[in-house]
Amino acid sequence: MRRKKLVLAALAASMVFSATGCSAITTARTVGAILSGVEASRTEASAKTERKESHRKECDRKQTLMVYMVGSDLESQIGAATHDLQEMALSGYDPDELNVVVCAGGASKWWNTSVQGDELSMYIMEDEDIVPVYEMKGENMVDPDTLTEFINEAKEEYPADSYSLLLWNHGGGAVMGYGVDENHNNEMLSVAQLGKAVESSDVCDDGKFEWIGFDACMMGMIEVADALKDSADYMIASEEVEAQDGWNYSALGELTDKGAYDGEEAGEIITESFGRYYDENYHYVPDYTLSCVDLSKVGDVTEAITDFAKKADGALVKGDYSKIAKARDNTKAFGGTGKSSLYDYIDLGCFSKQIEDIYPDEAENIEDAVENCVVHNVTNISRASGISVYFPYENIGSMDKMVESYEGNFNDEYTSFINDFAERLHGEDDTEWKVIESEPAKSGESSTGYSVKLTEDEVQNFAKGYSSIWEKNANDEKGESYIFWIDSMNTSLDDNGNLSTDFDGKIFYLTDESGAKIPVYAIQKESSDDYSEYVTSVMKGDLGDEDIHNIDIHIRVDKDHPTGVITGMYRQVSGNNLSYPDKKVDQLGDGDHINVTYFARNIKFDDNGSVEPFDTWEVSSFIGASIDITGELGVNFEKPELEHDFLGLFNIRDTKGKNHYTNYIDIHTDGKKSNGETVYQEAFS
């Protein structure tokens, strides 16, 4: 969904695919013959040297922007790097003020003939083209020496009053690092390696970069900022997964128009243009964040985190584990395209709010330090302060590997704390959860309200409660199967240990312009004062297709969208497999075929009638609907028209990450008189 490239629509007539059948594109020079064959560039080395020398004579500029573009699958599969090179070339920046120097490689093939895919080269952008000027000695773009070599050569050949560095590609944050070289086993640079590669460059021998930016996912972290604090004045990066469109490079023109070569001024323009682009060009607006942090203030943030880590680490053995875990559970997390965060990166500002009651001084210090450090922050979500940190909690399956990979990427005190926290998280249960034997009771004035009472020990180790709504599967002749409709965080735990909820009868329906209305399950993944976010999934493609795959659909409910709005579609991540996030936004629209799977289970009961653990329930899911979408896909959060009989349970997550289901209670919701139809039967009868 490269919507930003609509600016190039008028030029489409000049584009043709190469005769090789690969992804190379050719266009007229007026497009930026970034898309033209640069045959002259593939001549003898002496000719390259002459071109290189001719460029050196013209290099008196306000700033040299170094673009380290690791193409990876983003280029080989969808041409994302080529499109961004186009956008830079057409941004209207003043080449008499700004040098744009590019190191491009790391992809198995390129969608243009200007980049020499068979060798790693440095290019200068001129006349809406990129021209090769230096053949790199290094071949692997995630070798620290290759990055250092590029910076040194760019500085030598294109000296300027100041320097900035843009790192383009996949990002995996503090645990995984930056950059995926498709030609070298998809290796990545660790944060520590990245920091050393930049710090050892000639730019940092003489001074600092004005700014270092990441057009890459989830690099807006304190660990990354700490690694770069001595190498640049400012860092521009995202806390969240970036959509494949990434940065809005039309901002380059604004930078030179306003003479914004200072890192803070550039950061304001780049972040504002980023947010503006997504708000104005996306129908399904994804969660986005982009912040500019003052690297001279990073030490204060690190010191505040270290003080917290020392105090909390000592308190873990004194019984504070559950208090800290609850705070962590309620903190905004990033990198989750499903129902939870695969990466366990949390917002520091939000976390400071969650620990106010247990560590007030440390919380205040973290909050103040973050506010002083983040100078610009553009986002469409609440509780995103502009900088995050790794805190293991949700991804238990990959936790050992992640904690091991994290070693050496931040200071010893915080690393020691998260190691000790993870050890407690993996430890034995602290509580015997007797609530699983409890049957919820009617509560409140509403006929759809219900509650259970937790013991004092259960309250202490309670992290989060979901109202879980199911319905008998009428297609099951044995009457043992139940269809799942919604897990909602609309629960409250009072001072007496009463966990209560009130089901309003609403579930989610997918809709299109033909009038189709298909009920789907949904799991609430986030709740805040401003909005609630849910995720559901469908299968895209015809059964039997080679490329059939599951798509997670993100839905937001807020005051402006009380019936819900789709905010993003992402190819589903399976299990806890740790990999860099996929920036490629999926889409569903007119003509696409989808299959809706109804999540169903045979709920198991023991001899006493208590619900057994969820993992013992037998799978009875089924594909219940297959449609071709007409027009735009939409969503409605509403009550079914008919009256229905549901089952209400509580799904309780404890501070060790385990889930406990209570017994169920029968819930009747009002509506038109029915003959006992289920929601599924009502929709498809």
- Report CA-CA distances (Å) from 626 to 219, 483, 594: 39, 18, 6
Task: Identify the helix (H) or strand (E) that includes residue 89.
Answer: helix 80-89
Q: Is residue 22 predicted with pLDDT exceeding 50?
A: no
Q: Is residue 142 within 8 Å of 189, Cβ to Cβ?
A: yes
pLDDT digits (tens, 9 = 90+) for 245-282: 999 999 999 999 999 999 999 999 999 999 999 999 88
pLDDT digits (tens, 9 = 90+) for 631-685: 999 999 999 999 999 999 999 999 999 999 999 999 999 999 999 999 999 998 7
What is the C-alpha to C-alpha distance for residues 394 and 324, in angstroms, rounded to an integer? Answer: 14
What's the average model confidence in pLDDT over 312-334? 94
Q: Is residue 45 predicted with pLDDT exceeding 70?
A: no
Of the listed ranges 5-19, 116-130, 494-508, 517-531, the one predicted with least confidence: 5-19
- Neighbouring CB atoms inside 10 A of 552's CB total 20
Amino acid 584: pLDDT: 61
- Neighbouring CB atoms inside 10 A of 72's CB total 27
Q: Comparing 396 with 100, which gets the higher pLDDT? A: 100
Phi and psi at 42, nearest 5°, equal -105, 35
Residue 316 in tokens:
């873990």
- Give the alpha-carbon dihedral of 325, 390, 657, 524, to 10 degrees: 100
What's the average model confidence in pLDDT over 43-69? 64
Helices (H), 106-244: 144-157, 173-176, 191-199, 202-206, 222-228
Q: Is residue 397 predicted with pLDDT exceeding 80?
A: yes
Residue 626 in tokens:
């297959």
Q: Is residue 246 within 8 Å of 79, Cβ to Cβ?
A: no
Among candidate residues 174, 625, 653, the one with its CA nearest the CA of residue 396: 653
| Domains with residue ranges and CATH for the chain | 3-286 (3.40.50.11970), 299-426 (no CATH), 434-684 (no CATH)
What's the average model confidence in pLDDT over 85-102? 97
What is the C-alpha to C-alpha distance for residues 388 and 172, in angstroms, rounded to an integer? Answer: 13
Residue 210 in tokens:
């004005």
What's the average model confidence in pLDDT over 328-339? 84
- CA-based end-to-end distance of the chain: 36
Instruction: Please state whether 309 falls in left (phi above 0), alpha (psi between -120 and 50) or beta.
Output: alpha
What is the C-alpha to C-alpha distance for residues 194 and 142, in angstroms, rounded to an integer? Answer: 9
10: confidence class by pLDDT, cuts 50, 70, 90: very low
585: confidence class by pLDDT, cuts 50, 70, 90: low
What is the C-alpha to C-alpha distance for residues 335 and 626, in angstroms, rounded to an integer? Answer: 30
Amino acid 199: pLDDT: 98
Amino acid 532: pLDDT: 94
DSSP state of 391: -
Residues in the chain: 685
What's the average model confidence in pLDDT over 600-622? 85
- Report CA-CA distances (Å) from 469 to 491, 522, 663: 13, 10, 12
- Report CA-CA distances (Å) from 158 to 36, 97, 149, 396, 535: 24, 12, 14, 48, 48
429: confidence class by pLDDT, cuts 50, 70, 90: confident
Q: Are strands 644-654 and 232-237 parallel, antiparallel or unpaired?
A: unpaired
Q: Which residues of 136-160 are buried (b: 16+ CB within 10 A; e: fewer)?
A: bebebbbbbebbbbbbebbbebbeb
Residue linked to tokens 């498809």: 684
Among candidate residues 481, 510, 501, 448, the one with its CA nearest the CA of residue 645: 448
Amino acid 32: pLDDT: 40
Q: Is residue 18 predicted with pLDDT exceeding 90?
A: no
Task: Identify the helix (H) or strand (E) that includes residue 375.
Answer: strand 374-379
What is the C-alpha to C-alpha distance for residues 44 and 34, in angstroms, rounded to an integer? Answer: 21
DSSP helix/strand/coil, 299: helix
DSSP helix/strand/coil, 544: coil
Amino acid 594: pLDDT: 96
Q: Is the dihedral of CA 276, 277, 281, 286 positive or negative?
A: negative
What is the C-alpha to C-alpha distance for residues 625 and 546, in angstroms, rounded to an integer? Answer: 20
Q: Is residue 472 predicted with pLDDT exceeding 50?
A: yes
Amino acid 573: pLDDT: 62
Amino acid 29: pLDDT: 29
Amino acid 604: pLDDT: 85
Phi and psi at 586, nearest 5°, equal -85, 170
Q: Are strands 498-502 and 491-493 parallel, antiparallel or unpaired?
A: antiparallel
Among candidate residues 371, 362, 365, the one with its CA nearest the CA of residue 417: 362
Q: Is the dihedral of CA 175, 569, 472, 542 positive or negative?
A: negative
Q: Is residue 426 predicted with pLDDT exceeding 80?
A: yes
pLDDT digits (tens, 9 = 90+) for 151-186: 999 999 999 999 999 999 999 999 999 999 999 999
What's the average model confidence in pLDDT over 547-555? 91
pLDDT digits (tens, 9 = 90+) for 477-525: 888 899 999 999 999 999 999 999 999 999 999 999 999 999 999 999 9
Q: Is residue 121 predicted with pLDDT exceeding 60?
A: yes
What is the C-alpha to C-alpha distance for residues 38 and 50, in angstroms, rounded to an integer? Answer: 16
Of the listed ranges 122-131, 243-252, 373-382, 570-579, the one predicted with least confidence: 570-579
The partner residues of 165 in beta bridges, in order of sequence, read 66, 212
DSSP helix/strand/coil, 333: strand
- The amino acid present at 618, given as its one-letter code, is E
Among candidate residues 656, 76, 680, the one with its CA nearest the CA of residue 326: 656
Q: Comparing 530 with 40, which gets the higher pLDDT? A: 530
Amino acid 283: pLDDT: 76
Q: What angle do CA 258, 264, 269 make, to 5 degrees?
A: 50
